[in-house]
Structure 1
């Protein structure tokens, strides 16, 4: 955990301290881009923030604690007709909060007005996407938002009853309820999350307001029971992209991770680093939280049961299409990298955290896999040419139904990137072969012959490869049945088996696409009959 130093006594040091603990974007909003000598009003706002944090000095070791200390500033104060946070900004700038042109949609206008009201709170929770932004509950602005939500005929909330809610089950695996009280701020939060991906990590208020019409349309459509498109996110550790590189994929994109992308509760992973050396000799540093972000367009649908869900009874979840689409693309991207680059050390990326930008909802889950539990990673930096090769292979696999290869792709990735024990890597690699070319009988002969015929031309090379594969099969059998095998032999065998697995999948995805949709038995027969 990052330790925050004691609060300095000088004004310049205090400003730097606040930027470090609360984020520069938040301080720029409250103090209105402080630079040079502070005005008396800015100095007064700075002093108040420092005073509040001094009172909780023992808790300021983590940004989340500082945020908790300042949470009282987001409450409504009738004396100033806004939140204390907004009042500090108004005092700093001596100007009222920004206003935007009204539309012909009452709910959109209420959302816009509320977005201005809670913008500072969004900045305060910049890296906590599931904080449950509420806004200053008692303010007239938030009251108008709740009234607009419950009176909107396209939304399923009870007219005039903001505390009434609806039960929802989503294709992203979430089961919860949504109250009219929080639906409006939930839509604003969804717009905020969406715009953060395609703008600077800290979008302006104008960016947020521009995103509200689309976010509202999406929420209305989703709450009508129709399928909408939203975004699934996954972070990868193991490799870094060139500066400012973005890989556009048609159904999503890959880009470099920003600090602000990572939820606060993976901060310990952000700070865990692995250092390696590129082939050029340059130092490569990767973070356990991930240095690459995958964004995927996924289908999203909401079902609304008529009553609370009884999970002890026979309950049928809707098809998890959002999760399935994200996982399909995660597998595709990882396999594509392995196939795209031919290096001495096989390049791999590991997924760390996954989450969805839901069009409406209170909270949501984040799935996390700790890379320390997987095989040691060799950090790699991709060149521009390698990035282009990765993009081409991802595109090539768009037309290849990897799932028709059964467990083969997942087992191959497991052997390369996740298994810490070479015995397990060898077993997984051979399972990959069997998933592609296995049958009911004569497994060793069938698989070894099919691999040799697929990868080598007729002649001595083919015969030699068939014998090598058969030898690896026998070694695998000894391992499985507890026969003593030298560790060095297993390490070499697992490396060879992995390389063969990669060659097989690469050949199927390029020269023998006709075999993809066959069963494993059909594939081996067709190859052997060629």
Structure 2
């Protein structure tokens, strides 16, 4: 413990020393060493955007701090770059420029940039509420640090290197910050951590605007410690600043009411869930039954410019299932399914959600069985005799060629449907555990086979469940 403490303290001291300014070189000590050894330092050319020029210069000077080895104590926060940014001679000028900026100033209302100095800059606070439903106080003194830190994190996600690319990320992050401050919705980079899927043969797989990647140490900064994440999705997600108000100590109310923000959060969570589920379900559709490519979302980290959005963890399931392998020959199927599903789920969004739940989120096989049969009902329902209609529709869809096999499948499915009904409505005698497991397995495989078939029939996923059922029963498909 003492050794770890000494190592961390020593690292902090070295980091602070390397990031101190050397005025004769007009940059940090680390950059001056580079120049002394014959290297060069990227020059920030003066532009009409003074705010960017100052931010990019500060970012360039502290860039070596992000190249130091990670802390050995596992603590992600590194104070050396933060301290160097706040001590930088351009820091106060940047804060004034930010308050004078037509867009950025909107998140610090009622503030006069001409009155900002080193003594009061830490007192300039706002309360920001986001479309995620989260809210936080935000300090003007930390604005440069948050923008620079996020830019470096974005560089890691993009798996790019070098100072020039880092500066390009600074520019984009500042642009995103301005758009957010102006009340616009912005798609910001995000990292979704998935568990229970491994890709030993595949480094990455492009799925529309997202990329599925094998988990490695690069992404350890974006998932919780001791997580079971095995694969990540690098993508972008919508974000918007809902309100920004001046923070005043002692004020009872800041921002919008809780109920209004709860609605914002629910709306945002749905958009995120639908986006992630599209990828999870594309994996599932490429499965070779009964080995399912059933992934589980375990984490979500959003790289917003202000660092205001926390990393969110999905704790709906507290244990890890055996990981299934995405093979090279399945990758093309996943991409094909993602393209198909990206055109819209039609009336099958509940089917998709319930089948994913049955395979990757339910702890109890009874719950998994119930979710699977609900998938059947969402695909094919109606009155009268809902159970008969659902099971007959499935049998006709999956066994169109053989009357014998179709009849056999109908009886099997009807038995499972009746078992589910008894469980939901209260059975006199509980079924055996083996019966529940066998029924669940058949219900899941049937649901996946059927939903794949529905998407293969042009326009069939757009119809109401009763219309689909009528067409199958009447052999009109």
> What is the TM-score with the length of structure 1 in the denominator?
0.74
Q: Which residue in the other structure is 2:91 paired with?
A: 142
Secondary structure at the aligned position of 2:96 is classed as: helix
Q: Which residue in the other structure is 1:337 paired with?
A: 283
For 1:131 and 1:461, the matched residues in 2 are separated by 65
Change (3 A) 1:88 1:246: closer
Partner of residue 455 from structure 1, selected from 395, 398, 413: 398
Say whether the 8 Å CA contact 2:393–2:469 is kept in structure 1.
yes
How far has the Cα of 1:523 moved from its partner?
Answer: 3.0
Q: Which residue in the other structure is 1:218 paired with?
A: 176
Unaligned 5+ runs, structure 2: 247-252
Q: Which residue in the other structure is 1:492 paired with?
A: 438
For 2:224 and 2:335, the matched residues in 1 are separated by 28
For 1:328 and 1:314, the matched residues in 2 are separated by 23
How far has the Cα of 1:507 moved from its partner?
Answer: 0.9
The number of residue pairs the alignment matches comes to 444
How far has the Cα of 1:390 moved from its partner?
Answer: 1.0
Q: Which residue in the other structure is 1:295 paired with?
A: 234
How far has the Cα of 1:330 moved from its partner?
Answer: 1.3
For 1:318 and 1:215, the matched residues in 2 are separated by 27
Partner of residue 243 from structure 2, selected from 283, 301, 304: 304
Q: Which residue in the other structure is 1:193 paired with?
A: 153
How far has the Cα of 1:244 moved from its partner?
Answer: 5.6
Q: Is 1:230 aligned to 2:176, yes or no?
A: no
For 2:312 and 2:102, the matched residues in 1 are separated by 35
Secondary structure at the aligned position of 2:237 is classed as: strand
Q: Which residue in the other structure is 2:309 paired with?
A: 364
Q: Which residue in the other structure is 2:450 paired with?
A: 504
Change (3 A) 1:520 1:79: closer
For 1:454 and 1:429, the matched residues in 2 are separated by 17
Q: Which residue in the other structure is 2:386 paired with?
A: 443
Say whether the 8 Å CA contact 1:130–1:363 is kept in structure 2.
no
Say whether the 8 Å CA contact 2:380–2:389 is kept in structure 1.
yes
For 1:408 and 1:149, the matched residues in 2 are separated by 48
For 1:74 and 1:173, the matched residues in 2 are separated by 36
For 1:70 and 1:117, the matched residues in 2 are separated by 18
Q: Is 1:468 aligned to 2:412, yes or no?
A: yes
Q: Which residue in the other structure is 2:469 paired with?
A: 524
Deviation digits for residues 87-116 of structure 1 (CA, Å, limit 9, x no counterpart): 467568746993413231211111111112
Q: What does 1:175-194 correspond to in 2, within 5 Å?
A: 175-194=135-154
Q: Which residue in the other structure is 2:326 paired with?
A: 382
For 1:134 and 1:362, the matched residues in 2 are separated by 13
Q: Which residue in the other structure is 2:250 paired with?
A: none
Unaligned 5+ runs, structure 1: 5-55, 61-65, 270-287
How far has the Cα of 1:500 moved from its partner?
Answer: 0.3
How big is the alpha-carbon RMSD for the aligned residues of Structure 1 and Structure 2? 3.3
Change (3 A) 1:344 1:431: closer
> What is the TM-score with the length of structure 2 in the denominator?
0.82
**Comparing 455-464 with 333-342, which one deviates more in the overlay?**
455-464
